[in-house]
Structure 1
């Protein structure tokens, strides 16, 4: 039954991404173009560091799958792509492994095919400390993701219905494991209040996992006999909204959900993300065209992100937070309702004086 659910998730996720219209709230974030801000490409580094974690690139393959023979093959191919491109990679939820240890290889392959890469294990918020440690050990993981997904569980026919234990259990796991703990939403977003709570619980990083990518309420509704939860499709906050909502919370954040191309990666980094995760878009490429096509796609993204940073004058991903960006449309309305002043984002570069200092020009 678990294996079938995992296979259903993959099938429905790919169908969802094939039918996507293409627009989300990242389109309401735009860079102010400064025609003389560009720098030399060799001066650009994609390396990023946060919470004691160092990645060679600010892009990662986020949690997807595992737990069945078919999803084990998918994880193998994802691990190959991560190994060939240097991207960190996260496993899908390892709950299936805890219920059926015979599927361990469908997760372990992430490390076997990517022996020197950065690998994240993934458990749910009900996992015991023992299981969290077991997940880390199985993958020799460099970090642990704890996923939170109340909206998905609510729609899932066999989902959890008791959530009050999640907060204390996250705190126990964060205190007990020997690797950084990242709490991630699965596509409905983390609010400012939630991220501040995670900080107090001892979590090292928050993966905002906003609306705009794979919609797990829609996926689970597709598994229901009557499809009677259609009204929850589109629930939550977008990734761009979450990035704006969590400014200055004092906890490093990762951005995932609705990332469609390198410009979205740059937008997310400019809004404060330390790294940017992709799941559905990479899965679609893998399922349609194979692992070689996925490797080519990731390589192109990294090349184009470097090109964008060169044009924008950002030597590192962190320097993108100094670039001027405009927040418009419904995203600006969200910010107004949440008491977020978007005007300073459009005036971060310091204008002409900063350009003079960067180029050394006196004219």
Structure 2
């Protein structure tokens, strides 16, 4: 019962956060406008190659919730919208269902409503390879999100404080999972060195999931009784934004996804131009579903797709991959981070004039974040 109440608390507090999101580093990224560089929207193809999969949209429903009556209803509406639009969809952590079979209904409803869609199960680091197999089987999942949430656990009243075994857990899950594993943060970013470690562990795909969206540090701190535990608001703002992680990613990172504070299609395009193959959306889609269900989310998704295509045409990109040749200007806090980390901001601002490789499609935003699918 306690874990179920926590799930519902997460939804309530996440919805409240959508009303007061902090300034976004997405606003620190600009495109150089080339007035004669556009193409026709009819030429734009939005589908993207992510590892071995071809997704019809460059954005997807990121992992949010499940395991209670309320969250099961949310997952049903999200699944209907995913079915009607072709979007991939991830669920929230299924750990509660692995430990309590009565909670499984809040997740299996996704497959009931979307039997043929691309679905990602979700599990937290620290679980076993056997748990990974069970999580995939529960949903008939096409991929498994494995989330890293050390910051959240630190602030969570009932959270773990031992992260020493997580690297071994990631390796075990990657080896045991019958489907590819997508390692993701929960809103605090995957650093350059973390992405290097994940690549060494054989992780094929990583969602950098940066700071700026749903803030699980604040959510867990709000759940904490300040009389019985410390106030972790001192860590407010901890971590890196999604764009910071993308621009700082190593040459041989896993295939990159991005999420964390994505508010609109222009943010989607900025993340794609910065090296993400596809972009996860949680808070905006959650608020839409809570306000109006799938009937409200389906037209919003179609509107996002149309606007994304229009922005690509404006930028002269016939595909999301072509955004890797757009010129980016990085300012503000994001620019300061990039300068301190040694990111070549001049090169980013002049990508359209770089020689086009003769052996491949246009290069991605970050050199080396190529698709290494056999």
Given the two structures, how large is their TM-score scaled by the length of structure 2? 0.92
1:4 paired with 2:1, answer no
Paired with 1:234 and 1:200, the residues of 2 have a C-alpha distance of: 29
Q: Which residue of 1 aligns with 2:199?
A: 199
Contact kept? 1:211, 1:237, Cα under 8 Å: yes
Contact kept? 1:192, 1:249, Cα under 8 Å:
no
SS of 2:352's equivalent in the other structure is: coil
Alignment partner for residue 243 of structure 1, among 233, 242, 246?
Answer: 246
Paired position in structure 2 for 1:358 = none
d(CA) in 2 for partners of 1:352, 1:145: 36
Deviates more, 1:240-249 or 1:201-210: 240-249
Match of 1:356? none
RMSD: 1.5
Query: Which residue of the partner structure matches residue 21 of structure 2?
Result: 20
1:297 aligns with 2:300: yes
DSSP-derived class of the 1:18 partner: coil
Report if the CA contact (8 A) 1:211-1:234 is conserved. yes
Deviation string for 1:168-204 (max 9, x for gaps)?
1111111122211110000000000000100000111
Q: Are 1:83 and 1:113, in contact at CA under 8 Å, matched by a contact in 2?
A: yes
Cα shift readout 1:97-142 (whole Å, capped 9, x = no counterpart): 0121111111011111111110000001111111100110111100
Please tell me whether the aligned partners of residues 155 and 221 of structure 2 are also in contact (alpha carbons under 8 angstroms): yes
CA deviation map 1:269-319 (0-9, x unaligned)? 000100000001111111123221111111111110000011111111111
SS at match of 2:151: helix
Cα shift at 1:258: 0.7
Aligned partner of 1:322 among 307, 325, 334: 325
- Once the two structures are superposed, what CA deviation does each residue of 1:188-243 show, in whole Å capped at 9, x if it has no partner? 00000000100000111010010000000000000001171111122100111111
d(CA) in 2 for partners of 1:57, 1:248? 25
8 Å Cα contact 2:21-2:213 kept in structure 1: no
- Structure 2 runs not aligned, ≥5 long: 357-374
What whole-Å deviation, never above 9, does each CA across 1:6-40 have from its counterpart, x for those lacking one?
0000000000111225x300101011100111112
Aligned to 2:158: 158
- CA distance in 1: counterparts of 2:153 and 2:50, whole angstroms: 30
Give the drift of 1:351: 8.2
TM, length-normalised to structure 1 = 0.95
Question: Equivalents in 2 of 1:351, 1:157: separation in Å?
Answer: 51
For residue 231 of structure 1, the aligned residue among 230, 234, 244 is: 234
Whether the 8 Å contact between 2:111 and 2:139 is mirrored in structure 1 is yes
Deviations 1:250-274 (A, max 9, x none): 4210000010000000000000100
Residue 90 of structure 2 is matched in structure 1 by 90
Question: 1:79 deviation in Å?
Answer: 0.3
- Alignment CA distance shift 1:274-1:352 (3 Å): closer
Which residue number in structure 1 is paired with residue 372 of structure 2?
A: none
Residue equivalent to 1:220: 220
Distance 1:352 1:196 in 2: 28
Kept in 2, the 8 Å contact 1:247–1:272? The answer is no
Contact 2:64 2:92 in 1 (8 A): yes
Instruction: Give the CA deviation at 1:350.
Output: 1.4
Q: Which residue of 1 aligns with 2:143?
A: 143
Distance in 1 (CA, whole Å) between partners of 2:355 and 2:187 is 40
Q: Does 1:310 align with 2:313?
A: yes
Q: What corresponds to 1:172 in structure 2?
A: 172
State the distance in 1 between where 2:237 and 2:81 align: 30
- Contact 2:327–2:351 (Cα < 8 Å) also in 1: yes
